[in-house]
Chains A and B, each alone.
Chain A
Amino acid sequence: MDSGIEPVKENPVKEITTYTDSRDVLAKARQQADERNFDDVFIADIDAHHTETESWREIITYIDDPVVREQAKEMVFHRSGTPPYGLNGDLALRYQDVGGRIPHQAARSETINEAEIKEAGHRDLVLAKRAYEAMGIDIQVVFPTPMLFLGMHPQFDMEAILGKAYNRWQVENILKKDRKLKTMMFLPFNDPESALETIEEFGDSPGCVGFMVTSVRYKAVHHNHYMKVYRALEERGLPIGFHAGYYWQDPFMMQINRFGSMHALSFVWCNVVHMTNWIMNGLSERFPSLPVVWIESGLAWVPWLMQRLDHTYLMRSSEAPLLKKLPSEYMKEMFYTCQPMETDHPKALELTFEMINAKEQLLYASDWPHYDFDAPSVIWDLPFLDEQSKRNILGQNAKRIFNFER
Chain B
Amino acid sequence: MGEIYVGRTEEFGERDRKIIAQGNMEIGVFCIEGEFFAYENNCVHQGGPACQGKIINKVEEVIHETEKTAHGLKFSETDVHIVCPWHGYEYNVRDGRHPGNKNIRLRPFKVDVKDGEVYVHI
Chain A residues within CB distance 8 Å of chain B: 5-11, 13-16, 25, 27-28, 31-32, 98, 100-104, 371-375, 377-378
Contacts and interface: CB of A to CB of B under 8 A. Distances in A.
B118 to A, nearest CB: 12
Contact of B47 (A9, A13, A14, A28): A28
Interface residues of B, number: 29
B1 to A, nearest CB: 12
Contacts of A104: 85-86
Nearest to A104: B85
28 contacts: A5-B2, A8-B20, A9-B21, A13-B19, A14-B17, A14-B52, A15-B53, A15-B54, A15-B55, A16-B49, A25-B49, A25-B85, A25-B86, A28-B48, A98-B88, A100-B54, A101-B83, A101-B85, A101-B90, A102-B86, A102-B87, A102-B88, A103-B85, A371-B88, A375-B46, A375-B47, A377-B46, A377-B47
A14 B18 contact: yes
Given A15-B52, A16-B85, A378-B46, A8 B5 contact: yes
Contact of A373 (B5, B42, B47, B87): B87
Shortest beta-carbon contacts, A-B, top 4: A11-B19, A16-B85, A6-B23, A101-B83
A101 B53 contact: yes
Given A27-B49, A28-B48, A378-B46, A101 B22 contact: no
Contacts of B5: 8
Interface in B12-26: 16-24, 26
B56 interface: yes
Nearest to A98: B88
B98 to A, nearest CB: 12
A310 B95 CA distance: 48
